[in-house]
Each structure stands twice: as C-alpha cells, then as structure tokens.
Chain A
Amino acid sequence: MSAEAHDHDHGHDHEHEHHHKDTFITKYIFSIDHKMIAKQYLITGIVMGVIGIAMSLLFRMQLAWPEESFKIFNVLLGDKFAPDGVMANDIYLALVTIHGTIMVFFVLTAGLSGTFSNLLIPLQIGARDMASGFMNMISYWLFFISAVVMLCSLFVEAGPASAGWTIYPPLSALPQAIPGSGTGMTLWLVSMAIFIASSLMGSLNYIVTVINLRTKGMSMTRLPLTIWTFFVTAIIGVISFPVLLSAALLLIFDRSFGTSFFLSDIYIAGEVLHYQGGSPVLFEHLFWFLGHPEVYIVILPAMGLVSEIMATNSRKPIFGYRAMIMSVLAIAFLSTIVWGHHMFISGMNPFLGSVFTFTTLLIAIPSAVKAFSWITTLWKGNLQFNPAMLFSIGMVSTFITGGLTGIILGDSTLDINVHDTYFVIAHFHLVMGISALYGMFAGIYHWFPKMYGRMLNKNLGYIHFWVTAVCAYGVFFPMHFIGLAGLPRRYYTNTNFPLFDDLQNVNVLITTFALVGGAFQLVFLYNFFSSIFYGKKAVQNPWRSTTLEWTTPVEHIHGNWPGEIPHVYRWPYDYSNPNHDVDFVPQNVPMKEGEEVLHH
C-alpha cells in the first residue's frame, strides 16, 4: 500500500478556486462539498426513517388487534385499502415490503454509509474533498430521485410492491398474483436501479479517495477504523450491488418482454402462461448474492463509527487495532460466500446447504473477535458516558445478542424449522434494526458538532437512548419465542390458526413497546432539528479526540483546512499514552525526541 499522498500543491490550488461566493443553490442544493452532501444524505435518511417506522407501527397495530378498526388506518391508507378502518390483507403485505426496502436501503445503507463516508473520509484522511465532488453530488441526487420514485410507488392505483422486500418472482413478476406486482413493482425496480447507480458512484468515490488522497504520513495503518470500514464497505458494494441490478434487469425483462429467466410452468388466473425453462431459485441466488453482503454493508460502517467513539470516550486505544482491521477484511471476504444461508430450504441441492453452513459459521469468528475487542476497550478505561458512548455500548450489546441467534439460523439443520418465522425477524432486527441503527445514532450524536457547529442536548440524548433501549428489547426479544412456536412471518393475521391463539398476548406486548419506542423517537427528532438552529455552539474539539476532522475550523470552509493540510505522525489512538501528560495526542502532533511507538 502506498504510504504517501500527493496532495501538497493541489491543496493550495483548490483553496484559491473557492474564493467566489456561494449562492443558496450552490451552497445548499447542488453542492459539491462533501460536508453538505453528507448532511443531505442524513436528512433524507431521517425522513425515510420516519416513514419506515410509521409503516411498521401500522402493521404492528394490525397484528396486535387484527379485528379492530382504527380510524388512522382509514386516514393514512384511504377507503380502498382500509375501508371502515380495517386494513386490507394485500396492503398489509405492501406495508411490510416497503418498510423493509426503505429501512435496509434508504436508511441503513444510504443514510448511514452515505452520511458518514461523505463526512469523514476527506476530513479524517486529510483531503480537501472527495476525488470527484461532482460525481459525489450526482450520487446524492440520484439517491434523492430514487427515494422520490419509491415514495411515488405508494400512490399507484393497485398499490405498491407487495412481494416482500426480497421480491421473489413469480409473485413479483405477475400482476395477476398480487396487485402490487403491477405498476407498484415497476416503480420499485426503477427506484432501486437508480439507487444502485447512486450507491456505486458513491462507493467508487470513497475507494479512490481513500487510496489516492491521504495526507502526508497517513499510511493505511494509521487510518482510523471508521475509514477502514467505509473503504471495505465500498468495495463490497461495488462487487455485490451490480448483481442485484442484473437480477432487477432480468426481472424487468420477464415482466415486460416475455422472457423466462425466472419463470416456468405457471398456471394462474385460469390460464397457463407461456413461460418455460426459468427458475425462481436463480433469482434467489442473484438477490442474495447482494443481499447478504448488503447486511454487512449496513453493519460494518456502524462498527467503524462505534470503534472510533468508544476509543475517544474510553480515553484508551481501541483494543487490537490490527486485529480489528483483519477481522473487517475477513468479514468482507466471507460475506461474499455465505449467501446461500438464506436459501437452505429453497429447493437447491442440499450439498450447497452444507457448504453455506460451513462458511456462515466461519463468519462468526471475526465477528466475535470484534465484540471481544470492544469489551476489552472498556476495561480499565476512563469512560465518558456521552449519549454517543451509550449508543455505542448498546450497539455492541445488541450485536452480540443478535449475532448469537445467527448461529442457529446459519446452521442448515436448525434453519429448517425457523426459516421465515418470527425468529428470523427477531434476529435481523436485533443486528440491523437496533445494532446498526444505534451505530448511526452514535455517529449522529458524536459528529453533530462537526456537521452543524453546535451540540445536541445531552439530557434529551440520555432520555432518547434509555427509552429506545428498553423498548427495542421489549419489541424484539419476545419475537424469538413466537418464532420458535412456529409462527410464520408476513402473515396478515394469525386468527385463522387456533394453534397460535396463545401467541396473541405476546403480539400485543410487542406492539405496545413498539408504539412507545416509536413515539419517543420524536425526542430525537426534536433534539436534532432544534439543535441545528438553537444548540449550544460547539468548540473545535468537544470530545477531545485525536483524529484529523477535529483540527478543522468549526465554521465549514471548502477545502476543509484554511492553510496547509496537517501532516500525520502517529496512529489515531494515542489516548492516555504514558509518554504524554495529556490524555490524548492528536494525529498531527509530531513524535517527541526518541518517543517509542507503543503498539503493534
């Protein structure tokens, strides 16, 4: 890996270019400044998150009280989909589909990676901006357009896509199988194609910037772990998203041009369709070839953010920096060869099931290494419990809980009985819906001063964390039990099975926790938006952190540093270094005479 960057002269030129004044449009709308683009990703992600959570509260209400009528259903879903306040069965499926799509892609991928990769990569590696500010801007606006298209799909006459966020054909290919597979599904595919283009552009930018634009002294092994995870995440994205795009394109062909990639021997609505020779299992392979790396694209940046925040708030180095890098690389590599664990009972050859069980249980090892490293980082630290730190600890806690149930799901024999039950829902919500989301919240609380020059209110932060933590457990922990009872997912109601009557009380409890937890996110929203305008003004380095972003001025300037870009002389984790009196030494402070390096 090249250890030096060549930005020395380029930096001066860049500075002179931006002495012109920004208009409102070039500053806030079509900005090529990575810091503004990061905030654009964040706001869009938050808006989509609110919509996604609102949808989940609607269908949770349906599950808890299936025979009740609710005025709000009629208000939000209209007379066609909720006549007399009773939710219709196909719109239930549409809600779970769009909820999943929005949360996984728009909130936890674009909202998480897009925000923090854009904000932190140039700042933490010591670059003026991304390699291509223009392409960066395009990647945001494509994301915005894909979000608009996805939201438009909610308003088509036959309803939005309803085949689950996994959109398996033939259900997603045939409008006669479910109404949402008409125009709603077409718009979903268009939205996702644009989203993938956006994601690829962003990823390419991140990769090129990290490789080429590091400042003098910033070798790869002096990069903060945030950068490592963003970098590796971008690589996984570039490898796997195009495969989803190919699956989407082939599906568009099957839907609109009569091909048979995924369809064969179908009799529906009283007639035999012409399709011959295709296989839905092919779609599953193509989808999950992205789908599995996708969940690591979601969690790895969250892990990077948490590593950084924990080191800063423990006043200690992150434990095992090199092992953390190697485990990120191992997770990235393994994540591309485990996708079949979503398909154990898809009808594929059971031999494949054996292979995927093996690789899936392997991926538990680097994940365990990371969890143990975070715990060891806390040991004998001087822990500062800012809200960001609480969310980071929460992230580690729920990642362990959720990850452990992954060992059951990854074992093909055990998956036979829990596949597509609430057990799976409990697992992936713990690791994505809570763990990764906590990482995102932690990042927002920690880097809000950098983004907006102001501080978030810490007491509101504490309230937000604790209510969310209790409610999140209350929602997803009981789901394991109803999953083990054999309750399938994506069921509009369970009242057709007296066998499941004794699970209904659990469903009511889950929904109650969900409603309270969902409502308390308003505390965060209030804190976030009011602090942008009225928050306490931040100092340059409020958390006393060692990384380079805290050496830039509080007021944003294009090019990040007013003068020369700092040079880097040490790794990012010199907290409580015995060779120094202060409990942190920024990366741009030169080594003392004869100072030894105290880490691997």
Chain B
Amino acid sequence: MTSLLVIIVLVLLAVALWQLTKIFDLTQVGASSDDSQVASDNDNNIQGYILFGFLAFIYIFTIYGLLKWGNLALHTPASEHGLLVDNLMNITWVLIFTVQVITQGLLYWFSFKYKGNKDKKALFFADSNKLEAIWSIIPSVVLACLILYGLYAWNNIMFVDKDEDVIEIELYAQQFKWTARYAGADNTLGKANVRLIEGVNTLGVDMSDKNSQDDIVVSELHIPKGKKVHFKMRSQDVLHSAYFPHFRAQMNCVPGMVTEFAFVPTYTTAEYRELPFMVEKVAHINKLRAEKSVDLVAKGGTALDPYTFDYLLLCNKICGASHYNMQMKVVVDTPEDYKKWLSEKTTLAQDIKAAAAAEKPAAEGAAPTTDTAAKVIDTVKAVVDTVKAAVAKVAMK
C-alpha cells in the first residue's frame, strides 16, 4: 500500500514538473521558436545569481562539515611516527584549503560577474606567457617542498634499521581472523609456511627450526609502550591488510610473501582512554548506543553493551564475505605489564606437546582437541598427583 502511494506521489510530482516547464515555456514571450531552448539574457541573469548562491552553499557546507564532523577524524596519533604523518597531513590540508577557497571563489565569482547579455562583448584574451609561468612555477615549488617532506617522512617510517632494537611479532591473516606470533626470548621468529599447518599448529610454523621453540601464538595483541614493534605479516589465503588506524599503520598481508611495518606505541590503552578527545568520543558513542538499545529492547531484543575504547587491528583489503568483521583487539601495556602478560603464555611448542599428550589416552567420549582442554587435563592430573601425595603422607602418619 505504501509503495503504491509513493509511486502515485512520484508520478504526480513528475506531472507537476512537466506542467510547470510547459507553463514556463509559454511565458517566454518574444522568444523565437528557434531560440527558445537556448539561454536568454534572463536565463543568464538568473543562473548567474544561482551560481553565486552555489558558491555560498559550497563554503557553508564545508564549514558546517568541519564543525559537525571534524571531530570524527582520528585525532591524536598513538605512535611516534604518527606525529610526523599528522604534521604533514595538517600542512597539506592548509595548502589544499587555501587553493580550494581561492579557486572556487574565482570560478563562481567570475560566473556571476560576467553573466552574459546581448549588449556585452567578451574580451579576446587568448594567451599570456606571464600567467602561464606564474601558475606553473608556484605550484611546482610548493609541490616540490611537499614531496621532499613526504619522502623524508616515508623513509623514516618504512625503512627499519638492521641495528635497531625491535620486538619481532608476526601477524597472521586468514579468512576471517587475525593471529599473532611472538618471537620469544631469541627475538627471532621461526620459519613458517602454510604447507606445515597441522592440528594445533594453525600457523604452519616449522617446529624443526630452533628459532621456533620459544614462539608464542595468541589471538589478542599486546605491545609495550615506548618500544619499537616490528610486524612481519603473512596471509594464509587471500590478500588482507593490517590496518591500525590509531597508530597510522597499514600494510597488506600477501600470501606467499612476508611484508613488514614497524612503529613505536606512545600511549598505553589506559592512557589513551583518558585523553580528553577520547573521553568525549566514547561518551558520545555510548549515548548513541543507549538510544539504540531503547529501540532494541522495545522490539524484544537485548540492549547493546556499553563501549570502552580499545585499540584495534582491522582488515582493510577486500578478503571475502566476512571482510567487514575481521578484527583483533590490540592492547598497549606498560613494559612491565607487557612482560608479565607474555610470561604467562605458553609457547607453541608446549601447546603442540600438550595436544599430542591429550590425544593419547583412549577415554570415553572424544579426546580433547583444544589446547585449553589439554591444559585442563594437565592441571587435573597435577592436582590428582598432589592429592595422592597428601593422602599418602597422611596415611603414613
């Protein structure tokens, strides 16, 4: 029913428009039928004013956009090189806005000022070497400076010195999740290839490589503040992209290739949460979520969880149906907390061993296949042993 009404409204609107144009045509008294569809002096006058009005619209819409949506941009960078990036970005914006304001202004101002009529004559102004020189040389010089600064920044960001003190971490991308592998005490990642994927070793790490023995595999990334983290990216299947917007970091993950990107985090998650702009942003988001929850609950659904900020790793290269939901939580810890967190993790070698051990006993029901289940069994066994020993002690008394 609604669609029928909508269609009727649209048809009536179309008819109204057609009638209006027909009426308008009839009002063109004195126009010869040959020229009726060519712009008259009256048209030029009206359109000239509208064009100038459009300039106002562009300027106002731009200012409105900056005021209303300016705070949506990413704000304070959470990495060292991020400051360089944002600085270059701000300089570029100033240049761009200046050019935009001037050129749009001239374009529409000239349109208005020189709106035509039959009594005017245009100026035959075909060339000017001077003008050509001015507007070729000035942009060239400005762009050259931008290029130089940009390349200086790029070199700083993209080239990691061999001698630098970095923490090596592998980011493993697959449809549709992220996994991270830490290099452990030797700070060297063991070799890996998808051909070695088997059971618990979902990353295909080459366990015969001595460097692999202390590697740790996790699904939540923790990195320490103030230390350079050197990411080595791999992909299992298709192209993905490791995008860390807050850190100004992005690099494609290519199957068959190891790509890399390094940065130094400068705010712990806790610190970044306390930054004024983030407090405001989170409050605003939670307000929106609360409003939405009211609607959801009214329809019989569950309310949305309130949001606390966390750094994120997102996939940013189309990778399949669930590309829109491929993320990993990133936590920046203080160096002490980071050390503590890492020390509590088991290595991949231990996980593989535990899984193998857990498969051995032919128990009723399925053997545990997750490393967590294996750990539970180990713990239970340890507890049983302790109890047995205690009972034995008591019995001896």
Instruction: List residues of chain A with CB under 8 Å of any chain B CB.
Output: 71, 89-90, 93, 163-164, 168-171, 174, 177-178, 263-268, 272, 277-281, 314-317, 319-323, 345-347, 350, 353-354, 357-358, 361-362, 364-365, 368-369, 371-372, 374-376, 378-386, 389-390, 393, 396-397, 400-401, 404-405, 407-408, 411-414, 416-417, 419-421, 455-460, 462-463, 466, 469-470, 473-474, 477-478, 480-482, 484-486, 488, 490-494, 496-499, 501-504, 506, 519, 522-523, 526, 535-536, 539, 542-543, 573, 575-578, 583, 598-600
Q: Are B150 and A357 in contact (CB under 8 A)?
A: yes
Nearest B residue to A544 via CB reads B38
| In the complex, chain B residues whose CB is within 8 Å of the CB of A457 | 21, 25, 37
B65, A375: Cβ atoms under 8 Å?
no
Min C-beta distance of A128 to chain B, whole Å: 28
A473 / chain B contacts, CB cutoff of 8 Å? 57-58, 61
Note all chain B residues with C-beta closer than 8 A to A466: 50, 54
A389-B39 Cα distance, complex, nearest whole Å: 10
- Taking a contact as CB atoms under 8 Å apart, the answer to whether A319 and B255 are in contact is no
Q: List 6 A-B contacts (CB under 8 A).
A: A168-B317, A267-B197, A365-B143, A421-B316, A462-B43, A583-B122
- Ranked nearest first, the 4 interchain pairs of A and B with the lowest CB-CB distance are A264-B256, A486-B245, A385-B47, A350-B158
Contact: B92 with A411, CB < 8 Å?
yes
- Known A272-B194, A316-B125, A345-B251; contact A171-B318, beta-carbon cutoff 8 A: yes
Contacts of B21 in A (CB 8 A): 457, 459-460
Residues of chain A within 8 A (CB-CB) of B157 are 413, 416
A490→B10 CA distance, assembly (Å)? 32
Chain A residues within an 8 Å CB radius of B187: none
A408 to B140 Cα, complex, angstroms? 16
Cβ of B183 under 8 Å from chain A? no
Q: CB within 8 A of B85: which of A89, A168, A416?
A: A416
C-alpha spacing A542/B74, complex, angstroms: 53
Report which of A89, A266, A396, A481 forms a contact with B256, defined as CB distance below 8 A. Answer: A266
Q: Give the bracket for the number of chain B residues in contact with chain A.
A: 35 or more
Q: Could you tell me if B288 and A89 are in contact, using CB atoms closer than 8 angstroms? A: no
Contacts of A419 in B (CB 8 A): 241, 250, 316
Is there contact, CB below 8 Å, between A390 and B47?
A: yes
| A500 shortest CB reach to chain B, Å | 9
Partner of A411, one of B150, B250, B321: B150
Closest CB-CB distance, B351 to chain A, in whole Å?
A: 19
Most interface-central of B37, B72, B107, B252 (chain A CB within 10 A): B37
Counting CB contacts under 8 A, is B332 at the interface?
no
Flag if A319 contacts B126 (CB, 8 Å).
Answer: yes
Chain B residues near A345: list those with CB within 8 A.
241, 250-252
Separation of A379 and B111 alpha carbons in the complex (Å): 8
- What 1/0 mask marks residues of chain B from 16 to 42 whose CB sits below 8 Å from any chain A CB? 011001001100000001111111000
- Convert B288-319 into 0s and 1s, putting 1 for each residue whose CB lies closer than 8 angstroms to a CB of A: 11000000000000001001010010111111
| Partner pick for B175 among A268, A277, A364, CB 8 A cutoff | A268
A369 neighbours in B (Cβ, 8 Å): 132, 135-136
Q: Which residue of A lies closest to B156 (CB)?
A: A413
B208 to chain A, nearest CB (A): 18
The answer to whether B171 has its CB under 8 Å from any CB of chain A is: no
Residues in B with CB closer than 8 Å to A519 are 10
Q: Determine which of A170, A272, A371 lies in contact with B195 in the assembled complex, contact meaning CB atoms within 8 Å.
A: A272
The reply to whether B73 and A481 contact each other, CB–CB distance below 8 Å, is yes
Cβ-based interface call for B372 (8 A): no
B contact residues around A577 at 8 Å (CB): 124
Give the residue name and chain of the B residue nearest to A445 (CB): B37
Inter-subunit contact B47/A93 (CB<8 Å): no
What 0/1 pattern do residues 114 to 132 of B give for CB contact below 8 A with A?
1111001111111110011
Does B126 contact A501, Cβ atoms closer than 8 Å?
A: no
Assess whether A89 is in contact with B38, with CB atoms less than 8 Å apart.
Answer: no
Q: How would residues 251 to 268 of chain B score, 1 for a CB under 8 Å from any chain A CB and 0 otherwise? A: 110111101000000000
**Which B211-268 residues have a C-beta within 8 angstroms of A?**
233, 236-239, 241, 243, 245-246, 248-252, 254-257, 259
Is A576 touching B38 in the complex (CB atoms < 8 A)? no
Of the residues A470, A496, A600, contact of B57 by C-beta under 8 Å: A470
Which of A322, A383, A490 neighbours the largest number of chain B CB atoms within 10 Å of its CB?
A: A383
A contact residues around B125 at 8 Å (CB): 316-317, 319, 376, 379-380
In the complex, what's the smallest C-beta–C-beta distance from B376 to chain A, in angstroms? 26
Docked Cα-Cα span, A572 to B341, in Å, equals 75
Q: Is the CB–CB distance between A170 and B150 below 8 Å? A: no
B255 close to A265 (CB less than 8 A) = yes
Q: A267-B204, A267-B237, A281-B257 are in contact. Are A381 and B85 (CB under 8 A)?
A: no
Q: Could you tell me the distance between the alpha carbons of A375 and B104 in the complex, rounded to whole angstroms? A: 9
Tell me if B365 is interfacial: C-beta within 8 Å of chain A: no
Query: Which residues of B lie under 8 Å from residue A346 when comparing CB positions?
Result: 252, 254
Cα A474 to Cα B70 with chains together (Å)? 16
Residue B361 lies at the interface, judged by CB distance under 8 Å to chain A: no
**A385 to B115, Cβ gap below 8 A?**
yes
Q: How far is the CB of B68 from chain A (nearest CB, A)?
A: 9
B residues in contact with A389, CB < 8 Å: 39
Is B88 in contact with chain A by the CB < 8 A criterion? yes
Closest to B85 in A: A413
Other-chain residue from B114, B150, B204, B315 in contact with A381 (beta carbon distance below 8 A) = B114
Tell me if A361 and B143 are in contact (CB < 8 A). yes
Asked if B103 and A375 make an inter-chain contact with CB atoms under 8 angstroms apart, the answer reads yes
Further pairs besides A384-B116, A577-B124: 9, Cβ < 8 Å: A177-B237, A280-B255, A319-B128, A372-B103, A390-B47, A477-B62, A481-B70, A492-B324, A576-B124
Whether, in the assembled complex, B276 has its beta carbon less than 8 Å from a beta carbon of chain A, the answer is no
Q: Is B166 an interface residue (CB 8 A)?
A: no
B107 touches A397 (CB 8 A): yes
**A506 pairs with B69, CB closer than 8 A:** yes
Residues on A with C-beta less than 8 A from B241 are 345, 419-420
A-chain residues with CB within 8 Å of residue B193 when the two chains form the complex: 265
Cβ-defined contact, A358 with B100, below 8 A = no
**Contact residues in A for B175 (Cβ distance below 8 Å):** 177, 268
Bound-state CA distance A477–B25 (Å) is 35
Q: How many angstroms from the CA of A71 to the CA of B193 in the assembled complex?
A: 47
Of the candidates A386, A405, A482, A490, which one forms a contact with B39 in the assembled complex, judged by CB atoms under 8 Å apart? A386
> If A171-B319, A383-B115, A421-B316 touch, does A496 touch B237 (CB 8 Å cutoff)?
no
Q: Contact between B325 and A488 (Cβ–Cβ < 8 Å)?
A: no
Which residues of chain B have C-beta atoms less than 8 A from A386's C-beta? 38-39
The answer, among B65, B120, B127, for a CB contact under 8 Å with A599, is: B127
User: In the assembly, what is the distance between CA of A526 and CA of B14, in Å?
Assistant: 10
Measured in the bound complex, the distance between the Cα atoms of B126 and A577 in whole Å is 10
Decide: B154 and A357 in contact? CB cutoff 8 A. yes
Chain B residues 1-19 with CB under 8 Å of chain A are 3, 10, 14, 17-18
Q: In the complex, what residues of B have CB within 8 A of residue A174's CB?
A: 237-238
Please, which residues of chain A bring their CB within 8 A of the CB of B174?
A: 267
**Residue contact B65 to A481, C-beta cutoff 8 Å:** yes
Q: Mark B53-67, 1 if CB is under 8 A from A, else 0.
A: 010011001100100
Residues of A near B335 (CB, < 8 A) are none
A347-B100 in contact (CB<8A): no
CA of A480 to CA of B68, assembled, Å? 13
Contact (Cβ within 8 A) A71 B37: no
Whole-angstrom distance from the CB of B133 to the nearest CB of chain A? 10
* B320 contacts A by Cβ under 8 Å: yes
Given contacts A320-B132, A393-B51, A407-B146, contact A459 B25 (CB under 8 A): yes
Q: Does B323 lie at the interface of the complex (its beta carbon under 8 Å from any beta carbon of A)?
A: yes
A469, B44: Cα distance in complex, Å: 18
Query: In the assembly, what is the distance between CA of A404 and CA of B142, in Å?
Result: 13
Docked complex Cα distance between A501 and B306 (Å)? 12
- By CB atoms of chain A within 10 A, which of B62, B65, B139, B239 has the most? B239
Pairwise interchain contact A408-B96, C-beta atoms closer than 8 A:
yes
Complex contact A486–B54 (CB within 8 A)? no
Evaluate whether A316 and B124 lie within 8 angstroms (CB atoms) in the complex, with A164-B318, A346-B252 already known.
yes
Please state if B122 and A393 are interface contacts (CB–CB under 8 Å).
no
Q: Which of B110, B124, B135, B307 contacts A498 (CB 8 A)?
A: B307
Contact of B327 among A177, A486, A496, A598 (CB under 8 A): A496
